[in-house]
Structure 1
């Protein structure tokens, strides 16, 4: 078997160490309709573009399969949010009085028996909400709901950032899959 680039971690043969071929994860239509859409509706931040963006982000970040960063990094959950990013969303946004409604909704999504960052792994609804909050803080408007390249570029700019490993061109297919679901 020849060497190949992993579409999750962008490295060659990374999954061989785990004994796993690349995974396909959750069914994209179910992820979009049963997790992302109702979560964003509860937040009051649902739109076709936001739903496609958050669904595509789970696909691009983890292929909606991995809940711990492949290779041992700090990112957690299907949306591969780092604890520091999670904490920043709270400290510099949700904890402000102007965001009290959103903070209350996010608090209500959490289970009482686990700390918040652990819930990025165990609580799909909360992890999805935090991914949407991360995008909600971005300074630019969302791209059109059907613009896979625009959604991928937005993800790279405002979620993965210029320092991250995501490749906006390579991830267009994940956002197209999210749109089609």
Structure 2
């Protein structure tokens, strides 16, 4: 089982790494000057940021097809699934997903190099969107005192489960898991 928050943050780090690698490759091949026909990159960045913010705000609602919060509320308690509480991977030692990085890099890099450099904004938008979902997860977990998990069923890894937040060890000053 994997904690949903850590899953989203690993995706953010991988998407940002794809943006950096593709940007560096694009700069090495075509030069680091901004293309004149690409429009204003700052305006495009602001539009993507606004789109990611709107997507996050829609996910925070309870509308039927866009709500992330409704999915969180439908999560199955871990106690119903297994007796042993989950011991998910920590973000501290496993903050990057190399498989996801390669899978995301493979379509973006050739398109950026041989067709259109503006495609670099796709992983950047994805990173902003996943970061917004991570913020929703943090807010939901703190409000409910629960931790969201994914992957309790190998055949259906998208299904969520929840467990009680474990108390922090006394005297360590650590935050609860």
The TM-score normalised by the length of structure 1 is: 0.26
Higher relative contact order (CA 8 A, sep 6+): 2
Specify the structure having the higher radius of gyration (Cα). 2
